[in-house]
Structure 1
Amino acid sequence: MAENGTSSPAAATAAVAEKKMEDKRSWADEEETALPPPPTATATATASSSGVEAETAELKKIEELTISEGKETSSRLVEPDKSEIKAVTSGDTVYESAVKFEDLPLSRELLKGLKLEMNFSKPSKIQAVTLPMILTPPFKDLVAQAHNGSGKTTCFVLGMLSRVDPSKKIPQAICICPTRELAIQNQAVLLKMGKYTGITSMCAVPSDSANYIPISRRPPVTDQVVIGTPGTIKKWTSAKKLPTRDVKILVFDEADHMLAEDGFKDDSERIMKDIRRSSDACQVLLFSATFNETVKAFVSRVVRDANQIFVKKEDLTLEKVKQYKVQCPDELAKMEVIKDKIFEFGQKVGQTIIFVRTRNSATMLHTELTKEGYECTSIQGALKQEDRDKIIQEFKVGLTRVLITTDLLARGFDQEQVNLVINFALPVKYDTPWEPDYEVYLHRVGRAGRFGRKGVVFNLLCTDMDRSLMEKIEHHFGLWIPEVPNWRSEEDFQILNNGKAAEGAGKFP
């Protein structure tokens, strides 16, 4: 999408030829079964309720939940992932969780968009708890953490749409995202959800060469919602092209990255200060699946008395996403595992994302897979904006099945058909490459588990450093990730494919 917000990524004109694959069940399609503990642990068993009983229990617990400000309140809402949402509030306002969207102060037009365009029947767990906090006066700031694919985007998009007055042609809501891909994706959600409201929006992202307009020639923004990247939004506000005096709500998506020292901290702080200087009543919402302790401490300093929602790190890994590790002797063996084992036995009708660490690795892997006849694309930050848009669009509409990427798409990228993620290389911290980037690992895993769908992740290891990184990831999240016994064995991968092996990542006892 261009910086002026009037054009959309070009769709491919011809379908890409796809390999015909045998229609069989794959790792991501198997029903959940009891997970055995590590070999050294004593197995434990838990009874599960039927679908109807679980649904009844869920509704009952949500109906009973009332989060009162003025004290720390912990509330357990039982869902299939058994995770805990911890809400910390302050003040005198009492919030009641929303059992249905009609319980919220939403316009008829927004409810129509939720039902007809989004096909939502009731709020997810994170939506049930956070939406009353966002939509209830005095509109306090909110710091919210929840699982990837749990419905966070709906929370802040609905919050923005609900606060906008369609009769005023001036920016009233701003959402800042770390990448143009995420900004474009969030605007698409907003346009769909707000279809019947008459609210207009603009995507403020770096423009491609064909649609570049110098900032001096841009007219002032009159759209009511602006979604964009921090550099572009800062440039527009500094040039007085994006008025902020009427901004009622400011959202930071993937807020931990936006406020981290190695992220967009300086630009984000500047934008927040400038908007609060011109619009003191502006509500700030920080959303992410991860908040490390450093970012939490920073947030407590820069965000005024805010409601907070956090999930314990041990509960963040997605239970419906099965995780495996494969020991390979070298990089060539990794390629063989992908081509002859994972693709052969694991890919059914869904899509695959392969994460690499460097741009060179993305190019190399793309070249090798293409030589072998696999239809795939690769994306990384050095590509031109128009090329990135085209690649994303082709993958979004299903013209390509395999996407190779750096961590450019680790955060927030939402594609329902992705059921397989391959970590060709584990993510590491930029300044300490011997330490895993736990937050990025979690975000990568989340690409295969959108909204509780089933998926599988393969971690390919070959060096002592890889094994050390994997062990640190397991211990950080309290996980045991099963290992494929022999990378050469077709039988071992076939066993996984048939669902006869230990399934997914389990908790350490």
Structure 2
Amino acid sequence: MVDRFENMHLRVEILTAIKDFGFDVPSQVEGKSVVTCIKGENTVIQAPSGTGKTTAAVLALLQNIDYKNAKCQAVILCSTRELALSVQAVVTGLGKYVRVKCRICEETTQDGGILVARTTMINVHVIIGMPCHVLEAITKKVIDTDCVKMMILDNVDQMISRAMTEQICDIHRHLTEAVQTIALLTSLGARESDLVSWTMSESVLVDVCDNTPSLENVRQYYVQVEREEWKLETLTDLLETLGPCRQTVVYCNTNSQVDWLAQEMRARDWLVNVLHDGMSAASQEQMRTDFISGSVRLLVTTDTMASGNHVPVCMNYGLPAMAGDYLYRFGTTDKTDRRRLVISLITDEDREKLSSIELFCNTSINELPASVTDLV
């Protein structure tokens, strides 16, 4: 465990950027994993959401890049575009003084993204994107993989649940045998172990899962609904009770459910945006920007808007299939210590899922009391 960033043998430029970020001391995850990753070891980092897994991997990446070489040297694969944007912000923020060149790989050229249909080679130090887009860019020779020496798999659990395993393996086949792989995940189950074994001959496991996720300022409740079709009216009643000033994310499990719910709510005169990975990148960015800016206060989405967002109110129109995805949707306590409210609409069929979530998060989720407005 390294308890100071200065003892990690990082470049002076990176240490300066770390101070700009406001990081005083490493988290437990960062202290246990950064030096191992810098040494070039294949590494599996297992820890709860919001504990510094991505930062640890990015610090090692920035330390090991040869900035005299303009070619791509690292690929970061993410489960959603939203996560890719978040990771890009970390890479560019921590790498601003070493002048790292980083691009999002997607289907359009919005915000510096790579147009995967183009044939011109793109030379940047770091490529970030969902596996499907990165694989297509590699196949079309838009990305030269000859100099790629690091592959980071961010949020392995989510990528597996979204059926991205085969694409990840295909990308790995295009890389050299000497490539270093770093896998970031919250739980190391059978499917995760299989992927790790396939992409790494040997690896170091950094396990910080003995730290229970901090849910101190997260109020979690459920509302029992007798029938699935009654959830819509229950949801609108709750939103009316909370008032229009509460910024709220409503999570659904499928793109089609998002579109249906938004249509039904608009028919009831609710101003609502939608966000899911079935939309174009430009549309996703516009919806996301409108919501973050506050011009639209209500967003219906899948896990595309997840990865630890810190809006005041999150609602689960449908509970996720995997207990870990529940925590992924709203993250852990943020540094501002703002109170947040999470409400799940459940039927009798969801009881088993709810119990699994309570066990996974080591928490109790009670029925929503009548005085809802006092909870936020």
Q: By the TM > 0.5 criterion, same fold?
A: yes
Cα distance, 1:238 vs structure 2: 2.8
SS in 2 for 1:159: helix
2:122 to 221, 229, 234: 221
SS in 1 for 2:107: coil
8 Å contact kept, 1:353–1:402: yes
Q: 1: distance between equivalents of 2:181 and 2:31?
A: 19
SS in 1 for 2:223: strand
1:202: which partner in 2?
103
8 Å contact kept, 1:177–1:252: yes
2:367: which partner in 1?
483
Matches within 5 A, 1:134-213: 134-135=37-38, 137=39, 139-207=40-108, 213=115
Cα distance, 1:319 vs structure 2: 4.3
Q: Would you say 1:102 and 2:6 are equivalent positions?
A: yes
1:77: which partner in 2?
none
1:326 to 223, 237, 245: 223
The one-letter code of the counterpart of 1:113 is A
2:326: which partner in 1?
441
1:253 to 132, 149, 154: 154
Q: Would you say 1:376 and 2:272 are equivalent positions?
A: yes
8 Å contact kept, 2:54–2:87: yes
Q: 1: distance between equivalents of 2:102 and 2:356?
A: 43
RMSD: 3.0
The one-letter code of the counterpart of 1:355 is Y
2:33: which partner in 1?
130
Q: What number of residue pairs does the alignment pair up? A: 374
Q: Which gives a bigger RCO, structure 1 or 2 (Cα 8 Å, sep 6+)?
A: 1
Matches within 5 A, 1:362-373: 362-373=258-269
1:459: which partner in 2?
344
Q: Which structure has greater helix proportion?
A: 2
Q: 1: distance between equivalents of 2:158 and 2:186?
A: 11
SS in 2 for 1:471: helix
Q: 1: distance between equivalents of 2:293 and 2:252?
A: 23
The one-letter code of the counterpart of 2:23 is F
Q: 2: distance between equivalents of 1:153 and 1:441?
A: 19
Matches within 5 A, 1:1-400: 97-116=1-20, 118-135=21-38, 137=39, 139-207=40-108, 213=115, 215=117, 217-258=118-159, 260=160, 263-277=163-177, 280=178, 282-312=179-209, 315-316=212-213, 318-331=215-228, 333-341=230-238, 344-345=241-242, 351-400=247-296
Structure 1: gaps of 5 or more residues: 1-96, 429-436, 485-491, 504-509
Cα distance, 1:362 vs structure 2: 1.7
Q: 2: distance between equivalents of 1:195 and 1:471?
A: 45
SS in 2 for 1:309: strand
Q: 1: distance between equivalents of 2:116 and 2:202?
A: 39
SS in 1 for 2:341: strand
The one-letter code of the counterpart of 1:102 is E
SS in 1 for 2:300: strand
Q: 1: distance between equivalents of 2:216 and 2:164?
A: 31
Q: 1: distance between equivalents of 2:163 and 2:105?
A: 18
Structure 2: gaps of 5 or more residues: none
Q: 1: distance between equivalents of 2:114 and 2:54?
A: 29
Distance 1:214 1:375, change over 3 A: closer
Cα distance, 1:159 vs structure 2: 1.9
SS in 2 for 1:390: helix
SS in 2 for 1:223: coil
2:355: which partner in 1?
471
Cα distance, 1:420 vs structure 2: 2.0
1:446-481 superposed Cα distances (whole Å, 9 cap, x missing partner):
2x644584422111113x212233234334555432
SS in 1 for 2:259: helix
2:302: which partner in 1?
406
The structure with the larger Rg is 1
Cα distance, 1:252 vs structure 2: 0.7
Q: 2: distance between equivalents of 1:455 and 1:125?
A: 25
1:10: which partner in 2?
none
SS in 2 for 1:156: helix
Q: 2: distance between equivalents of 1:427 and 1:366?
A: 19
Q: 2: distance between equivalents of 1:261 and 1:365?
A: 23
8 Å contact kept, 2:107–2:115: no
Q: 2: distance between equivalents of 1:419 and 1:493?
A: 18
1:78-98 superposed Cα distances (whole Å, 9 cap, x missing partner):
xxxxxxxxxxxxxxxxxxx23
| Percentage identity across paired residues of the two chains | 25
Cα distance, 1:348 vs structure 2: 6.6
